[in-house]
Structure 1
């Protein structure tokens, strides 16, 4: 049995547009737009991809939105007021990337129907999510995470029938939460974080602070790109740049502040055995 998925994974919508909530059409119609948004913030992912090809490991994350079907014509991008996204927070006792906020997800296992099967299995293991109420809408293009050698494919889902979720293993996960997207994207909750790293490079990237959680790195970068592509973004102060360590200090759960020396790209947090995002 293969230990890696085949290379013919299809990226783009997985269902007809009529089966996708209208406020997600802009995101799912052209998944390359998210990649373009990420690359538009700087960095050279082509170089990073060449770095991980030698020992590439494959992973998937689930970006799961719940909320009304119909778009709100009065809102940016039609985003309904009740839309939320499922996030997890790693346990503060973990050796690597403790306390960081991520989408549910993890590495490919033999037998997984990648990337959807991997994303749903990991979400179930981390949060208890029952896949029966989830409609998978699209697979985004993969993103390289060079320090760990992971190539991560985000999977977009709509939680048609939301059910209970929570922490399954406290040794791995400190918190499982559904975060309202309008609140997350409110200008009061948005800024950028910055930190000098080895070799004199500077990490700077999108960040969000909500419900005592700091969302940054790969997760923050993907949320920012998705909001931009979907038209949900509300103008915010891009000149509000805060030291990463100071932002972390405000979070309720202690977080690792480790940034890999190659992480000069706004969305590149490097990970250990699991692609914390």
Structure 2
């Protein structure tokens, strides 16, 4: 089965559960959501492919990569962290997908005309900043240059091969200490960049749902804060 078809099947399952909000794992919840004051946001999980594979719907996981941004160190929330492109949904945005594409363009300069939106995953709570975040899955059929389009938001932009992220040697557990409490999330190591926290949780869940995850040692820990 092609990677794209597997993605579409996951989206179909989430669509059937419309209205369901996903919580983060208890071992990563540092505070409770204030749902009455929560804002909505969208992130773009953009699957690209190398070379001719970009035009081939039968692309397998070895052909694919994902687009990430390194958030600016000066930001008030999630400074310096690796994330999917995305941000708050504005009143002017006609849809969640439109918001994700707009934010991706603002942060990375990507030509959104080259992106096909496959669908959305379930809304996920992000208590630390009180957002309800909808992941939007995109297929990058016509690639374009990407770069830190807004240096105030993004310090860097890069693509990471899916095969690298799935390699058990690049999987670990990110750990954050808050007083006497210890919080954990899945993490991915890519060229000395660590993808952890909310982004890694969403990615880990997606890989699990797709059946792409390979067994890895979650006892291998790295302190993040």
Answer yes or no: same fold by TM over 0.5.
yes
Q: Which structure's residues are more often strand, by fraction?
A: 2
Matched ranges for 1:52-201 at <5 A: 52-67=34-49, 68=53, 69-72=57-60, 79=61, 81-198=62-179, 200-201=180-181
Give the Cα separation in 1 of the matches to 2:156 and 2:150: 10
Find runs of 4+ consecutive structure 1 residues off by over 4 angstroms.
38-41
Deviation at 1:25, TM superposition (A): 3.5
Deviates more, 1:178-187 or 1:20-29: 20-29
Q: 1:138 to 1:179 in 2, by over 3 A?
A: same
Deviation at 1:44, TM superposition (A): 9.7
Deviation at 1:110, TM superposition (A): 1.7
Q: Which residues of structure 2 form unaligned runs of 5+?
A: none
Q: TM-score, normalised by structure 1?
A: 0.70
Alpha carbons 2:28, 2:183 under 8 Å: kept? no
Q: 1:111 to 1:148 in 2, by over 3 A?
A: same
Deviation at 1:33, TM superposition (A): 10
Deviation at 1:97, TM superposition (A): 2.5
Give the Cα separation in 2 of the matches to 1:39 and 1:57: 15
Q: How many pairs align?
A: 215
Deviation at 1:202, TM superposition (A): 1.7
Give the Cα separation in 1 of the matches to 2:25 and 2:16: 13
Q: Matched residue of 2:45: which SS?
A: strand
Give the Cα separation in 1 of the matches to 2:79 and 2:24: 29
Matched ranges for 1:10-89 at <5 A: 21-31=4-14, 41-42=25-26, 48=32, 51-67=33-49, 68=53, 69-72=57-60, 79=61, 81-89=62-70
Q: Deviations over 1:31-72 (max 9, x none)?
A: 2799x9x76944698x94xx3222121111111101242154
Root mean square deviation, CA, Å: 2.8
